[in-house]
Structure 1
Amino acid sequence: MSINRFQRIEASWGYSGTPDRIKFTVDAPIFVLGFGLYGSMNDSAEYGVTIEIINFGSGQILAHRETSFMADGTPRIFRVMFKEPVEIASGLTYIASAKLKGAESHYGTKGLRRIVRQLAQHRVVYPQAVGQTQPSHSSSASLPEITTALLWKTAKYLK
């Protein structure tokens, strides 16, 4: 399941070398599998990316991955996954962080602050951006999507 917070896609997001970071909480335990990120506006382009999940309260980095992905010039979302699922507990606050290096890209606007997945009764809340100089916040950014799995569904596959 992917949770996308933006209602519109625009072009011309530049990268300053600092990560886009957004705080989130969930009301049911989940696993975060990775993030969806926007890519290049025109031609194919490769992006270097560092993704992290951080416990906001303790500052502990729960997952970290440095990798790259190829974008094809379309406004679609490109998934970058952690090597292992990251367990997210309900009621705690976490930071999703993505630092990209590459050409200007598409970005999302009209971001939602609260997202409810009715089918699973699952909610993710994006209260605000944190600790960055990149102008990421709940209404616009280049980090549109968190790819998740509900804990009970994923647990079957981990045994």
Structure 2
Amino acid sequence: MPLSAVQAATALPDSINVPDGHKVALETVGVGEITYECRDKADMPGQTEWVFVGPKAQLRDRSGKAVGSYFGPPATWQAKDGSKVTGTQLAVAPSSPGNLPYQLVKANPAEGQGAMTGVTYIQRVALKGGVAPSSACGVAQKGQREQVDYQADYIFWAAQ
């Protein structure tokens, strides 16, 4: 049974808590994959690393019904009604080993009218997977892409 937004928020690191004066507008579970590409490390000639390229996930409500999608770049959350938001990452905090970090995003004003209208913040919590591949990333693998499965709860907040 997934945690409610209130239960999840009380167990989160302070850096990703939503400021007071906001209420939960929508709770979703994102299920999908994250693409990584083997690329040269920035400012480190001859060294390579797996670099985050972008996500592709279905957003589901707590009953498992599809209610939207998450994709990027730029990171975009879109509801089935066509409304969507992009955002700017404000903070991340470590979750458990082998899982993406917790994340707090400040939402840009929504495009279109619907479920995303009024969303001000998005939290990524309850993470499973999604970290860079453990496979080799060397000169011979440069340019190769790998998809990694992940799941995360996305909690959308609006001003009260």
TM-score between the two structures when normalised by the length of structure 1: 0.27
Which one scores higher on RCO, CA 8 angstroms, separation ≥ 6? 1
TM-score between the two structures when normalised by the length of structure 2: 0.27
